[in-house]
Amino acid sequence: MVKRRGSSSLARRTAQPPAVDPVQIRRRNRVILRSLLVAAICVNGALGLMLLYVVFLQMPYLNLQQVDVHGNRHLSREEVVEASDLEGGMNLLTVNLGSVAEKLKRHPWIRSASVFRRFPGRIIIEIQERIPRAILVAGRPYYVDETADYFTRVFPGDPVNYPLFTGVRPEQLVSRRLQVREMLRRGLALLDLMERKRSGLNLTNLAEIRIDLNDGFSVVTMSGRTIVLGKDKFAAKINRFARLRRFLSRRGKWGRARFIDLDYDDRALVRSSGARHKG
């Protein structure tokens, strides 16, 4: 059998690796070097920023030296600062303003809070306090704000010159909270009506407003007179009270009226000195 030399040498020539292009090698090396250079610059830049941050942390210029408080009426400046957990000497760059504001809003007297940095060395706190409108007595006295929320207890020495809501039991503050809030909301609306209307039923001679979650409101005056108003239509009932007061006064019977039930559509029930009148 005869071997063919030509085909064997051709196979060896085709099996040889391709020649390497030096231009491509130089191009690839340049890309690698450029990537390494960029990485080195980034690492050095990050280290430089970290070093600069550490230097800033040690600068007295950035230490907290003063806390300004605005918007406080009931709370003292010291009470607001204590609620914020800010301490003198803290570095301003490390203070999380949002976290400080959230801490302040957890205080029962603070409705909203904003916190700002002012260089050098100052933090500014702006708060909005809750405004008491009344006091709710339910086992213990609580302040009621303008949104009908009973937000904190009344402690000895606190101001107490507010209208008084009574009749709610302590357990109802939890078991019937939504109903209590709704009744307080209506009660505040009733106080506004009493303040606006000249009916003789006003805040100056008001002793308390009793709340019954089922039946509504009864107003007790300083003289001991009880006026039942129910749950709604307060404006019409206060107008009816004014007419009834004039009617009984002309007949000299107003001073004897001790119980007046206005929770009717078009009439009133009056009890006086053992007598009972309906009109």
What CATH number has the domain bearing residue 120?
A: 3.10.20.310
Asked if the structure places residue 174 within a domain, the reply is yes
Asked if the structure places residue 243 within a domain, the reply is yes
Domain boundary among 129, 156, 175: 129
Q: Name which of 131, 163, 127, 165 is nearest 147 in CA terms.
A: 131
Query: For 1, which DSSP code?
Result: -
Domain boundary among 80, 104, 129: 129
Asked if the structure places residue 257 within a domain, the reply is yes
144 plus 225 within the same structural domain? yes
Q: How far is CA 37 from CA 31, 32, 34, 64, 186, in A?
A: 10, 9, 5, 41, 73
Which pLDDT belongs to residue 2? 47
Model confidence band, residue 120 (pLDDT cutoffs 50, 70, 90): confident
Number of domains comprising the chain: 2
Domain that holds residue 110: 60-129
Query: For 157, which DSSP code?
Result: T
Model confidence band, residue 119 (pLDDT cutoffs 50, 70, 90): confident
Domain boundary among 113, 129, 145: 129
78 plus 155 within the same structural domain? no
Give the CA count within 13 Å in the CB-facing half-sphere of 204: 5
Length of the chain: 279
92 plus 114 within the same structural domain? yes
Does residue 193 surpass a pLDDT of 90? Answer: yes
pLDDT in tens, 218-242: 999 999 999 999 999 999 999 999 9
Asked if the structure places residue 109 within a domain, the reply is yes
149 plus 263 within the same structural domain? yes
Are β-strands 110-118 and 66-70 bridged in parallel, bridged antiparallel, or unpaired? unpaired
Asked if the structure places residue 152 within a domain, the reply is yes
Asked if the structure places residue 26 within a domain, the reply is no
169 plus 77 within the same structural domain? no
pLDDT in tens, 129-174: 999 999 999 999 999 999 999 999 999 999 999 999 999 999 999 9
120 plus 186 within the same structural domain? no
Which pLDDT belongs to residue 199? 81
Does residue 279 surpass a pLDDT of 90? Answer: no
Asked if the structure places residue 249 within a domain, the reply is yes
CATH code at 250? 3.40.50.11690
Mean pLDDT is lowest, of 24-33, 93-102, 196-205, for: 24-33
